[in-house]
Amino acid sequence: MPNLSGYFSLCLDPADYTAVAEALQAELPLPQTLLSAVPKRQSLYLTGRYCAREALKQAGWTPQPEITTGPVGEPIWPPGWVGSITHSQTHVSVAIAAATAYRGLGLDNETPMSEKTLQAVKDKISTPSERQKQPQNMSEQVYYTLLFSAKESLYKALYPTVRRFFDFQAAELHQRDAGRFEIALIETLHPELPADQCFPVYCQLAAEQIFTAVLWQTAD
Ligand SMILES: CC(C)(COP(=O)(O)OP(=O)(O)OC[C@H]1O[C@@H](n2cnc3c(N)ncnc32)[C@H](O)[C@@H]1OP(=O)(O)O)[C@@H](O)C(=O)NCCC(=O)NCCS
């Protein structure tokens, strides 16, 4: 993974959701829409904002930022920064980069999908060509979870520019060589994001967590 300006990650125990939500509400604002959400949602949201604040601090941003939420749930970063938030049941991670270096950044964390989920979503999340290119050294579960996660990371990285929904058929994952992946647009999403544009995908494949990051670098 290239050097980002800030990265902060925390593990959460589901037994602590209520306590975490209460403790973090004392120092971070909870949006109106989440006031009556379940403790799990409140604690994951607030832990994401806490990690975002710490990642920005790490990057040298000293003002106390309030990272609000846009109309479809996208985080609104302070001017001059791009970033991304992801949470699973037990992990929350945030990465931050300077907007001078990156146009967009997406992070995603998934637990490998069950056989039942895999069969239900496989055709929806992959293109015919991706279905023919499963690497031999990767199980079906890991491959399709990686593919799903990389596309969600891409979505988060590009949404602030595209500003509309685009689905899983809009891009295709390619393996360049062992362990190196990139994702290419199949359709033009924006005048600055033409079909065939490629983005590196950084991934960490562990038995219980699959983690991906997609970075859109500024043109040199
Ligand atoms: C938005 C989406 C990508 C979020 O992914 P997820 O796996 O459900 O959830 P994660 O925990 O990884 O991430 C949630 C965080 O994503 C961020 N997020 C939500 N919508 C976002 C958007 N439109 N753009 C960027 N970030 C967004 C938020 O910070 C959210 O956390 P918060 O609500 O606590 O602030 C997903 O729900 C979705 O809509 N996917 C369909 C679109 C898609 O992936 N298309 C494929 C294109 S090839």
Q: Does domain 6-100 have CATH number 3.40.50.10860?
A: no
Nearest partner of 29 among 9, 7, 5, 52, judged by Cα = 52
Interval between CA 132 and ligand 1 midpoint (Å):
27
Q: What is the average per-residue pLDDT within 165-192?
A: 95
Interval between CA 16 and ligand 1 midpoint (Å):
24
Q: CB atoms < 10 A from the CB of 108, how many?
A: 26
Q: What is the 3-state secondary structure (H, E, C) of 36-67?
A: CCCHHHHHHHHHHHHHHHHHHHHCCCCCCCCC
SS3 147: helix
Is pLDDT above 90 for 194? yes
Atom 25 in ligand 1: which residue has the minimum CA distance? 156
Residue 84 structure tokens: 């991304």
Atom 28 in ligand 1: which residue has the minimum CA distance? 74
Interval between CA 198 and ligand 1 midpoint (Å):
20
Atom 27 in ligand 1: which residue has the minimum CA distance? 74
Atom 21 in ligand 1: which residue has the minimum CA distance? 74
3 secondary structure, DSSP code? P
Interval between CA 114 and ligand 1 midpoint (Å):
20
pLDDT at 2: 64
pTM of the model: 0.96
Is pLDDT above 60 for 80? yes
pLDDT at 64: 75
Ordered by start, the domain boundaries in the chain are 6-100, 112-200
pLDDT at 49: 96
Q: In the Cβ-directed half-sphere of 154, how many Cα atoms lie within 13 Å?
A: 28
Atom of ligand 1 nearest to the CA of 45: 34
Residues with CB under 6 A from ligand 1: 44-45, 48, 69, 72-75, 85-87, 108-109, 151-152, 154-156, 159, 166-168, 170-171
Sign of CA dihedral 174, 192, 215, 170: negative
Percent of the chain with pLDDT over 90: 87
Q: What is the 3-state secondary structure (H, E, C) of 74-133?
A: CEECCCCEEEEEEECCCEEEEEEEECCCEEEEEEEEECCCCHHHHHHHHHHHCCHHHHHC
Which tens digits make up the pLDDT trace of 3-51? 678 999 999 999 999 999 999 999 999 999 999 999 999 999 999 999 9
Residue 152 structure tokens: 């969600």
* Environment class of 197 (CB within 10 Å of its CB; exposed 0-12, middle 13-18, buried 19+): middle
Which tens digits make up the pLDDT trace of 109-155? 999 999 999 999 999 999 999 999 998 889 999 999 999 999 999 99
pLDDT at 220: 55
